[in-house]
């Protein structure tokens, strides 16, 4: 029987509640694959779950995405085989580990030109950008789009991918320094949304032109004003709540603002079916291979130093993706 080292919390709280434990790892059961993980992704939802903002049943592991190599498979597994390099983003919490058993239908086999590190750092954020830019609104050349939180992980991917598709991208960020990051990611214009008059600044910068689609990951602080930036019959996509839950909006307000469309999608339903998940992942991997999507790994931490990874994220001490290695 294998041994597995994994991060576990038995109470919600500060980063120090995370402890690395060692326990026996059973052979994979029916439909499962056992992975030796080489790279683990960090997402800010991990902080929310650790602190209890998004509470989980305790005790619990943490982490949603990782990459590694299949070491064993259980009965009836045909999608992957021993030796395959694979990644996942939705196999249940517990990715902060050096080995684990996961449902094989949650795995995608990595192409030779996609490294384990790139997959672990990009899959969750990249698949979010993929459904937003391909499914929620298929971005077209010549369109003007508005991307909130353009300096963030998903925002930078959205910006680069939309630019590669020929769109004009206006990005917002919460400070002058983050606006500069958004520009480096490819935004044609970057606006500080901490300014009260940011919608007026947006319209001034575009010569009064409004956006075909607004991608809003901020929520409470921006959503109502996002409606003022969408063109008639345009789409406002509320896909995150960095500043808090988005306010309720009356359908009549959408009519008054220009017969707008409003949607609140998320990544997991878009990838619930294994075949759809793998097709969407192939689209993302193709975008990575052709340079449309890139990732900046800003910091690396080990499992033993996981508290420092969370402290760095919460203090905004890093830019780019945080990668964890076993």
Task: Convert the pLDDT of each residue in 116-154 to its tens digit.
Answer: 999 999 999 999 999 999 999 999 999 999 999 999 889
The stretches in the chain having pLDDT less than 70 are 319
pTM of the model: 0.92
Q: What is the pLDDT of residue 244?
A: 84
Alpha carbons 256 and 258: distance in angstroms, whole number:
6
The residues of the chain that CATH labels 3.40.50.720 are 141-264
Q: What is the pLDDT of residue 320?
A: 73
H-type helices in the chain, by residue range? 45-51, 116-131, 153-164, 176-184, 198-205, 223-226, 251-256, 267-270, 274-289, 306-314
Buried b (16+ CB within 10 A) or exposed e, 113-134: ebbbbbbbbbbbbbbbbbbbbb
Residue in this structure with the two tokens 């990951």, named with its chain if needed: 217
Q: What is the pLDDT of residue 2?
A: 83
The answer to whether 318 and 312 have CB atoms below 8 angstroms apart is yes
The residues of the chain that CATH labels 3.90.180.10 are 2-122+271-325
Of the candidates 86, 1, 81, 90, the one whose C-alpha atom is nearest the C-alpha of residue 37 is 86
Give the contacts of 292 (CB within 8 A, at least 6 positions apart): 160, 161, 164, 165
Q: What is the pLDDT of residue 237?
A: 98
Residue 282, helix vs strand vs coil = helix
H-type helices in 138-250, by residue range? 153-164, 176-184, 198-205, 223-226
Pick the CATH number of 141-264 from 3.40.50.300, 3.30.70.1060, 3.40.50.720, 3.20.20.70: 3.40.50.720
Greatest distance between any 2 Cα atoms in the chain:
66
The answer to whether 199 and 227 have CB atoms below 8 angstroms apart is no
Q: Which fold has domain 2-122+271-325?
A: Quinone Oxidoreductase; Chain A, domain 1 (3.90.180)
Q: What is the pLDDT of residue 78?
A: 93
Of the candidates 246, 156, 160, 148, the one whose C-alpha atom is nearest the C-alpha of residue 198 is 148
């Amino acid at each position: 029987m294998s041994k597995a080292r994994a991060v576990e919390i038995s109470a919600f709280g500060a980063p120090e509640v995370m402890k690395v434990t060692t326990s026996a790892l059973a052979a994979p059961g029916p439909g499962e694959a056992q992975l030796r993980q080489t790279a683990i992704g960090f997402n800010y939802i991990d902080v929310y779950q650790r602190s209890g903002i998004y509470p989980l049943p305790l005790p619990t592991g943490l982490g949603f995405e990782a990459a590694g190599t299949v070491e064993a498979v259980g009965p009836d597994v045909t999608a992957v085989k021993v030796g395959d390099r694979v990644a996942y983003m939705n196999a249940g919490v517990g990715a902060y580990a050096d080995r684990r058993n996961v449902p094989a239908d949650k795995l995608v086999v990595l192409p030779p030109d996609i490294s384990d590190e790139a997959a672990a750092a990009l899959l969750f954020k990249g698949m979010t950008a993929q459904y937003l830019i391909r499914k929620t609104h298929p971005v077209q050349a010549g369109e003007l789009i508005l991307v909130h939180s353009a300096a963030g992980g998903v925002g930078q991917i959205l910006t680069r991918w939309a630019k590669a598709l020929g769109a004009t991208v206006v990005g917002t960020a919460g400070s002058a320094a983050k606006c500069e990051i958004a520009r480096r990611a490819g935004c044609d214009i970057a606006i500080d949304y901490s300014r009260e008059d940011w919608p007026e600044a947006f319209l001034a910068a575009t010569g009064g032109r409004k956006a075909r689609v607004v991608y809003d990951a901020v929520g409470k602080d921006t959503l109502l004003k996002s409606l003022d930036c969408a063109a008639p019959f345009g789409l406002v996509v509320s896909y995150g709540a960095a500043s808090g839950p988005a306010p309720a909006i009356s359908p009549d307000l959408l009519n008054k603002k220009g017969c707008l469309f409003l949607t609140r999608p998320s990544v997991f339903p878009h990838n619930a079916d294994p075949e759809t998940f793998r097709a969407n992942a192939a689209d993302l991997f193709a975008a990575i291979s052709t340079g449309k999507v890139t990732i900046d790994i800003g910091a690396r931490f080990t499992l033993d130093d996981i508290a420092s990874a969370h402290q760095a994220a919460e203090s905004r001490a890093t830019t780019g993706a945080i990668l964890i290695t076993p």
